[in-house]
Amino acid sequence: MRHGPIPGSSGHVRPLTLLGDPLLAAPAREATGFGPPLARLVEDLFATMYAARGVGLAANQIGEGLRVFVYDCPDDEDRRHLGHLVNPRLVDVDGPAVRGPEGCLSLPGLEAGTERFDHAVLEGLDVEGRPRRVSGTGFFARCLQHEYDHLEGRLYVDRLEGWRRRRVLRRAGRTEWGRAAAT
């Protein structure tokens, strides 16, 4: 049974920031204010993530350069992980590096095999400034690393090399949003 409001139910769906926007390539700044504006941002992140059918979303993907992300993501055992992190730090990754399909709401419709560690641990704060530690394995670890990369100014395509990178960027250039970004 769920207690409390559904995440995102009071949020507004915002436009997504797409590949080519300089905000996605810049490290996000620390969130310093814990109060209603930050709570609204988290609600907007959830609302936008759900509307776009994603499993995670970072603040810079909706035009806010703050170190905040949300997630509603299963792990490999299909256990649901729901939450958010403010000012996260990646404190540990381990296990094998696994190449798996990865997409991004800032590159809609595209994906590529991307290597990620099978286990990740992040520490940060919740929307009220309380410490949080989140640990994930499998697909959820991939999600945590992906969203953390956004806050560092990296996209999954930045982890690709050679033909994999060229293929995704070529496909992006053929999309309507990719052509618009190039002009």
Neighbours of 76 (CB within 10 A): 13
3-state per-residue secondary structure call for the chain: CCCCCCCCCCCCCCCCCCCCCHHHHCCCECCCCCCHHHHHHHHHHHHHHHHCCCCEEEHHHHCCCECEEEEEEECCCCCEEEEEEEEEEEEEEEEEEEEEEEECCCCCCCEEEEEEEEEEEEEEECCCCCEEEEEEEHHHHHHHHHHHHHHCCCCHHHHCCHHHHHHHHHHHHHCHHHHHHHC
Single-letter amino acid, residue 53: R
Catalytic residue among 43, 64, 102, 147: 147
Known catalytic residue at 147 = yes
User: Tokens at residue 15, please?
Assistant: 């436009």
Instruction: Please name the residues in contact with 179: beta carbons below 8 A apart, sequence gap of 6 or more.
Output: 173
Q: Which residues are catalytic?
A: 147
